[in-house]
Amino acid sequence: MKTSQPEVIGIASGKGGVGKTTVSVNLASSLAQLGKKVFLFDGDLGLANAQIALGLKSEFNISHVITGEKSLNEILIEGPKGITLIPGASGVKQMAALSEIETAGVVQVFSELRGDLDYLIIDMAAGISPSVLTLMEACHRRIIVVIDDPSSIADAYGAIKVITQQSDREDIYLVQNRVQENDRSDILFHRMNNVCMKFLNQSIFSLGAISEDEFLLEALRNKKTIQEFAPSSLAARDFKFLAEKVLSFEPLQQVEGGLEFFVERKN
């Protein structure tokens, strides 16, 4: 049994529809393909995005764990390519509007996660609601997905700003999604990094880019990950690079007594 803590990675964007679920599912499957044990949590508690993307159905979900009806282990479902999904609460209306305290309950539930697990990836809901911020704050590392579009850039900056103001954690990583063949993704990263340094006194890190690739949509339609559906596609290559970068993160500092998800607030 592994005794070290799994690394918890939150994936957010501010703006909806820019690729959080795509990045979450395919990063998870690419890490699994590299031999890591990965759990994927559908943090989009209202709509259960990742669950739908993976074509999985479940009778029980995180809401049953919060109410104490089930243990976390009882709701896990095995997805493709070694990913284990922690289902969000699809269709459970009140879950969409979880309070900060209740979200903290979700985070607490994760402290049950021990043993043979390397990564927990959290696919966040769109926006920067208190529940998204609480979950993001509880992660060891935060990835912001952005596309080269003014409203996505503005929302990504907004998300980085509130995350930075809310906690002392400094590890915010940017992934640019839907990059066209001849685009240079480092331009947008440097622009955003400069703005963050100037106005937030905070630099961010680049995790590179994911190409615009219609195979991603096809893979989704076929309820498969890109690695399964089109292993030699541009997107499969990009996700492999992304997973390798994630693998090369500095090791987490070990915390006495196991998992420690909460970080201190600045206020």
Ligand X SMILES: Nc1ncnc2c1ncn2[C@@H]1O[C@H](COP(=O)(O)OP(=O)(O)OP(=O)(O)O)[C@@H](O)[C@H]1O
Q: Which residues bind ligand X (CB under 6 A)?
A: 13, 16-22, 44, 49, 126, 177-178, 210, 212-213, 216-217, 220, 235
Residue at 93: amino acid letter = K
Task: Compute the distance between CA of residue 32 and CA of residue 35 in angstroms, rounded to an integer.
Answer: 5
Judged by beta carbon distances under 5 to 8 A according to partner kind, the member of Mg ion, ligand X, none in contact with residue 95 is none
Q: How far is the CB of 11 from Mg ion (least distance, A)?
A: 9
Order of all β-strands in the sheet with 83-86: 77-78, 83-86, 38-43, 119-124, 7-12, 141-146, 172-179, 205-211
Q: Which is nearer to ligand X, 33 or 49 (CB)?
A: 49
Element (H, E) at 122: strand 119-124
49 binds Mg ion (CB under 5 A): yes
140 binds Mg ion (CB under 5 A): no
DSSP letters, 57-86, are --S--HHHHHTTSS-HHHH-EE-GGGEEEE
Identify whether the C-beta of residue 50 lies closer than 8 Å to the C-beta of residue 57.
no
21 binds Mg ion (CB under 5 A): yes
Q: Which is nearer to ligand X, 5 or 87 (CB)?
A: 87
Task: Compute the distance between CA of residue 207 and CA of residue 44 in angstroms, rounded to an integer.
Answer: 23
Q: How far is the CB of 93 from ligand X (least distance, A)?
A: 17
Q: How far is the CB of 21 from ligand X (least distance, A)?
A: 3
**Residue nearest to Mg ion as judged by C-beta position:** 21
Judged by beta carbon distances under 5 to 8 A according to partner kind, the member of Mg ion, ligand X, none in contact with residue 177 is ligand X
Give the number of residues in contact with Mg ion, rule: CB under 5 A: 3
Q: Which is nearer to Mg ion, 12 or 38 (CB)?
A: 12
Q: Which residues bind Mg ion (CB under 5 A)?
A: 20-21, 49
